[in-house]
Amino acid sequence: MEDLYEILEVSSSATDVEIKKAFRKLALKYHPDKASEEDREESEIHFKKISFAYEVLIDEEKRHNYDLYGTTDSNGGPGHYDFTGNPFEQFYGGGDYNGYGGNDFYDFFNGMNGEQSSQQNSRRTEDAILNVEVTLEELYIGKVVRSTSTRNIICFQCKGKGVKSASAVSKPCGICHGEGYTRKIKRVAPGFVAQEYVDCSTCNATGKIYRTKDRCKLCKGSRVCEETKILEFDIPKGSPNEGTVVKKGESDEYPGKIAGDIILKYTCKKHETFERRGDDLYMSLKIPLADALAGFSKVVASHLDGRGVKVVTPRGKVIRPGDYIKIEGEGMPKSGKKSWFSRSDGKGDLYIKVDIEFPSDNWYLEKNDLITIRNILPTNLKDRAHEVSVPEPNVELFTDFSIVTSSDLPDYRDHNSTNQGNGAYEQGPQCTQQ
């Protein structure tokens, strides 16, 4: 591959004056307006090469980076310049570095990111990614996502050759020198670079340049044309909240390459009523204290398939704070799997967390209402161990107090002192007496 100095026909030590003089000379020689119709396309390619070489070498910073890294990037990042030979020789000057020479580093990185690896990667076109959002209802019953796909396919008129017939007149591409690909410098670590191979965009990876009149009229020499069709992505019922559906070989086609895939990536939106945990569903239900004590019969939710979920609690069954109502087989489908012995039809369960709403202060209308409640509800504790017996003279009456919630309690996390007490909160380490 030619380097920029060779393109301008100057030495690497050339001054700015010499570079300008060489550019003027070559620009006059290869200007497309002075070339014949048959040679004009080749002249345009060469004219772009010498213009690009001049733009880099006449700029002090770009020239310095090109000499050092083969790129104009000041960080030594991936550049746009072809490079030949062993790039590590410029760093080590053919000498040794801790027992290793430039050829050792070149062979190592060439084995990792060299010609074989790059050419293998280039045999497959890029995958196409589609991102969509789905609802929990759609995951419950299953979903088919339809999408319009526009991709490149191998031209059916020229069979991917890019020309009308095999007798078309061609010339070797002046950019890739007939190889069909170009080498680029890729920085793999500070001070270390490797060669990367990419398809030549000038000749469409053919290594040949054809006259305009010989090109295929359908693809205009690009070797591919567009195809539009509808793709369907099937998301089975019970699928996880995040996942992918792959259509093999539905990405762009290109001669000599394997078509990549189209990958649908989906995520589930947050649901207003249900929370999914594995194959189970969770929801919250607020009921009054009377329903918790006396029972209730009500439709508590609209399920993901539109069915109303009605719950009737047994008479005499008391629901306490922190209780859950479990309905078997009303969770998510288990990825379409069904067990012959399962009553739940291969589904998870539905858990309803009960939030009991107590009445507000001074809820009663008459004092007799309080007496009625006390007469109806049991007042004797099952566990009498906590009853306190103190002589009457030692009893002190407290009427000035307030009722607080757990969120109003003091925060003890910043205290270094050891917690003491009856175990109402977590105790710190205790001292052992000797």
Mind listing the pLDDT tens digit for each residue in 123-165?
889 999 999 999 999 999 999 999 999 999 999 998 888 888 7
159 part of a folded domain: no
CATH number at residue 284: 2.60.260.20
Distance from chain centroid for Cα 235? 19
User: Model's pTM, two decimal places?
Assistant: 0.59
DSSP secondary structure string for all residues of 102-169: HHHHHHHHHHHHSHHHHHHHTTBPPPEEEEEEE-HHHHHH-EEEEEEEEEEEE-TTTTTSSBS-TT--
- The predicted pLDDT at position 37 comes to 67
Q: Is residue 232 part of a domain?
A: no
What is the total count of domains within the chain?
2
Quick check: is 240 in a domain? no
- Whether residue 122 is contained in a domain is answered as no
Report which of residues 214 and 135 the model is more confident about. Answer: 135
CATH number, domain at 27? 1.10.287.110
End of a domain among 56, 73, 90?
A: 73
Q: How many other β-carbons are positioned within 10 Å of the β-carbon of residue 177?
A: 14
How many residues would you count in the chain?
434
* Domain contains 19: yes
The dihedrals phi and psi of 401, each to the nearest 5 degrees, come to -150, 170
pLDDT score of 101: 46
Highest mean pLDDT, choosing among 28-37, 71-80, 159-168, 368-377: 368-377
Q: Return d(Cα 261, Cα 156) in angstroms, integer.
A: 21
Q: Which of 332, 333, 325 is nearest to 298 (CA)?
A: 325
> What SS3 state is found at 369?
helix
- Give the pLDDT of residue 380: 75
Tell me, what's the pLDDT at 274?
A: 97
pLDDT of 128 reads 94
pLDDT at 91 over 60: no
> Is the CB of residue 207 less than 8 Å from the CB of residue 178?
yes
**Listed residues 44, 73, 102: the one ending a domain:** 73
How many CB atoms neighbour CB 414 within 10 A? 5
Please indicate, yes or no, if residue 184 is contained in any of the structural domains: no
Residue 399: pLDDT band (50, 70, 90) is confident
**Which pLDDT band holds residue 34 (cuts at 50, 70, 90)?**
confident
Cite the DSSP H helix spans in 226-308: 289-294
pLDDT value of position 87? 43
For residue 201, name the pLDDT band (cuts at 50, 70, 90): confident
Alpha-carbon distance 185 to 197, whole Å? 9
Question: Of all residues in the chain, what percent carry a pLDDT higher than 90?
Answer: 33
- What integer best gives the mean pLDDT of the chain? 78
What is the spatial distance between Cα 110 and Cα 72, in angstroms, rounded to a whole number? Answer: 22
Q: How sure is the predictor about 193, in pLDDT bands with cuts at 50, 70 and 90?
A: low
Containing structural domain, residue 26: 1-73
Q: Is residue 43 part of a domain?
A: yes
Report residue 293's pLDDT band, with 50, 70 and 90 as the boundaries.
Answer: very high
Region 322-331: mean pLDDT is 93
Most confident range, picked from 20-24, 300-304, 401-405: 300-304
User: How much is the pLDDT for 97?
Assistant: 45
The residue among 168, 169, 172, 154 whose CA lies nearest residue 218 is 154
Q: How many CB atoms lie within 10 A of CB 304?
A: 21
- The answer, yes or no, to whether residue 261 has pLDDT greater than 80, is yes
Among residues 31, 47, 73, the one where a domain terminates is 73
Angstrom distance (rounded) from CA 238 to CA 346: 10
Residue of higher predicted confidence among 344 and 150: 150
